[in-house]
A = this chain, B = another copy of it.
Amino acid sequence: MQIAIVLYDRFTALDAVGPYEVLSRLDGAEVVFAAERPGLVRTDTGMLAVTADIALAEVPRPDIVLVPGGPGSEAQLADGPLGEWLRAADGTSTWTTSVCTGSLILAAAGLLAGRRATSHWLALERLESFGAHPVGERVVADGKYLTAAGVSAGIDMALDLSARIGGATRAQAIQLMIEYDPQPPFSAGSPRTAPADLVAAARRASRHSAWAG
Contacts and interface: CB of A to CB of B under 8 A. Distances in A.
A179 B150 contact: yes
Interface in A154-172: 155-156, 159-160, 163, 168-169, 171-172
Contact of A181 (B168, B169, B189): B189
A184 interface: yes
Report how many copies the assembly holds. 2
A18 B31 CA distance: 19
A198 interface: yes
A142 interface: no
Contact of A151 (B100, B160, B178): B178
B173 A185 contact: no
A185 B149 CA distance: 14
Interface of A: 12-14, 17-18, 20-21, 24, 30-33, 40, 45, 47-51, 53, 100, 120-121, 138-139, 149-153, 155-156, 159-160, 163, 168-169, 171-173, 175-186, 188-191, 193-195, 198-199, 201-202
